Structure 1
């Protein structure tokens, strides 16, 4: 009797496993799910003023991540998709955003001949409007994103926005593409965002114009943080030139940024260089003059591809701050106090593997 009961339990487990396997096969026949990621870590040396820090840091070439994405064919040209992407720190094993696990992207979408409707946390069109034209990919010590100032506001949309609803045009418009995005505040200041981007790419040329605004906590009689960026690139074959100009504006404050970069293929490697100029202007709500809080950065880097998925890299960047500017390269110590006009220099040597 006991043997018979055990036998029935084993058969039930086998049947359940077979049912799950059948369901998995059926699901995979209708959809395609991909596991992907990047692991990036570097030895980094940063000097901010007289303060120095040597560390093992991540995201020198690409941001470390683990993700799942999938597409289901619904028939008639209609497809459903999802994308879940988690950022983490390789050196400590911690998540890169303590408040969000799927901090990099968490979206669901419908796409077809009409384009794509995407919902969830994602890049804002104003961020991709300049990030696409930074030769260092807004990563590492040369990251151009450090100059993407929100001008002291609580705008939480400089890179990504929560609750974002986006429409993307289809890819058959003769090189033209566009995105329109909106994110409600859900009664949280700094979250409400609306923006868009129009672009054209054909052959070696790619250009785009993006604009966005975020509703923030009112100050100096204003509650709208605004950002506009014009970017472009041209590939000459022997070298690719990229660059953008942007302007951030809030109340009486403005920050203008100009970035020019070049990347040159050298066998299995790529040489990268850029120059960035940031010009501040206007007065704060407290009356402080920011006119002289300018900065510039010069950066040089090299990437050597060991394979399609693995690369060695090194980058060096120097930020020259003026007056009250406090821009610093990533992964460094705090600027010494008083910190006005102190320079920041960083160099890293790293390894990146993608899968």
Structure 2
């Protein structure tokens, strides 16, 4: 009898412990047949001894492929929470992306998110790799969810800037534009009458050394925040983030005190909003990414005046979703203007700026709460793409821009288009 009572007590204690903790396996499997096409024109002869091309010569490339993540990024993950009592809880989240078409994980495991956190009445303190605050507005207020050929143009350009300028990493070349590693994040409590927000600081983790070229350096550091309000049909949020893309010192014989110093900071501010009318939901985003560089060159051992440049990428996106029976129609239009900060343009000189616009249409047909068929099509137009082909030469889906990301090819990106026809299953 005593042994039976002990067994029942052990089972009861085990049940109570399980009731206080949770462990969830989740994921998305998404695959599509996709087509991508990009076109450009020669705007000068790539051979120095030949004159500029008088008549534009069009070049292009295209690709048909089985792609992954046209409606939602393919992923698998684990998350869990333990109730610590007194309103406290400890949680973890490990999420890994993969390519549905090959089954391969192209980047490090759990690189989509890898966090551990402590939450309570004070909010949540979260440590690890996570989304940066400015990315939320690019995805939450995008009808396409910032994935596939129809993804938010602002998100694409922001990721391209981070890839070209830095900091990048072995984990992902667009780090600090979408996600940041080594981050410390704080989230406001959820009971603030609709107000929400977060703060993030990401450590650069560079070693500081004396009299070593490039050191000390804060390259890779990120900090930012996002604050918003959601109540009823309205959701609005503003976010700011600053990433150190470069921070180097070139030593001279006189030592580090006389070394030239170069810094490059990417400063992003965006505002997103949506209003749900029931029959349709309108959403949009305004954004600016400022690429700010500063070079200080010593003159006779004394630091000279700083030479500064502030290139700007101003973007706007307007979109909507419309419920149609068991499905949803989606549409968005966006534009990003590149403002090259090299001083006034002389009369007769070529324009140094560039712009890109995008139209995206899509439809998702829900077969169940977890499974859907979808179709998305997008068209991109580029103006003066030769001025900034690596960033403004936008691509459609998995196809690199026709200029190959460099101006040396002599090709100006002009247009891109693509479509996704796929199936998405969530579990």
- Structure 1 length normalisation: TM-score? 0.88
Which of residues 85, 101, 108 in structure 2 aligns to 1:75?
A: 85
Larger Rg: 2
SS at structure 2 position matched to 1:131: helix
SS at structure 1 position matched to 2:354: coil
Which of residues 260, 269, 280 in structure 1 aligns to 2:318?
A: 260
Could you tell me whether the CA contact under 8 Å between 1:191 and 1:215 is conserved in 2? yes
RMSD between aligned residues: 2.4
Matched, 1:142 2:209: no
Query: Residues 80-119 of structure 1: matches in 2 within 5 Å?
Result: 80-97=90-107, 100-119=108-127
Could you tell me whether the CA contact under 8 Å between 2:219 and 2:247 is conserved in 1? no
Distance 1:352 1:289, change over 3 A: farther
1:326 maps to: 393
2:364 maps to: 303
Could you tell me whether the CA contact under 8 Å between 1:283 and 1:290 is conserved in 2? no
Q: CA deviation at 1:147?
A: 2.1
**In 2, Cα distance between the equivalents of 1:176 and 1:53?**
45
SS at structure 1 position matched to 2:149: helix
Deviations 1:101-144 (A, max 9, x none): 11100000011111111000000001112221111011000111
Matched, 1:127 2:135: yes
SS at structure 2 position matched to 1:118: strand
**In 2, Cα distance between the equivalents of 1:290 and 1:71?**
56
Query: Residues 58-69 of structure 1: matches in 2 within 5 Å?
Result: 58-69=68-79
Query: Residues 161-310 of structure 1: matches in 2 within 5 Å?
Result: 161-187=180-206, 190-218=219-247, 221-251=262-292, 252-283=310-341, 291-310=352-371
Could you tell me whether the CA contact under 8 Å between 1:41 and 1:59 is conserved in 2? yes
1:154 maps to: 166
2:51 maps to: none
Deviations 1:294-326 (A, max 9, x none): 000001000000000000000000110111230
**In 1, Cα distance between the equivalents of 2:74 and 2:27?**
7
**In 1, Cα distance between the equivalents of 2:350 and 2:242?**
24
Q: CA deviation at 1:24?
A: 8.3
**In 2, Cα distance between the equivalents of 1:141 and 1:233?**
22
**In 2, Cα distance between the equivalents of 1:302 and 1:338?**
38
1:343 maps to: 415
Could you tell me whether the CA contact under 8 Å between 2:143 and 2:319 is conserved in 1? yes
2:214 maps to: none
**In 1, Cα distance between the equivalents of 2:135 and 2:351?**
24
SS at structure 2 position matched to 1:330: coil
1:32 maps to: 22
Q: CA deviation at 1:190?
A: 4.1
**In 1, Cα distance between the equivalents of 2:368 and 2:287?**
35
Could you tell me whether the CA contact under 8 Å between 2:218 and 2:247 is conserved in 1? no
Deviates more, 1:143-152 or 1:82-91: 143-152
- Give the aligned length: 332
Q: CA deviation at 1:241?
A: 0.3
Could you tell me whether the CA contact under 8 Å between 1:43 and 1:56 is conserved in 2? yes
**In 2, Cα distance between the equivalents of 1:24 and 1:332?**
53
**In 1, Cα distance between the equivalents of 2:246 and 2:400?**
30
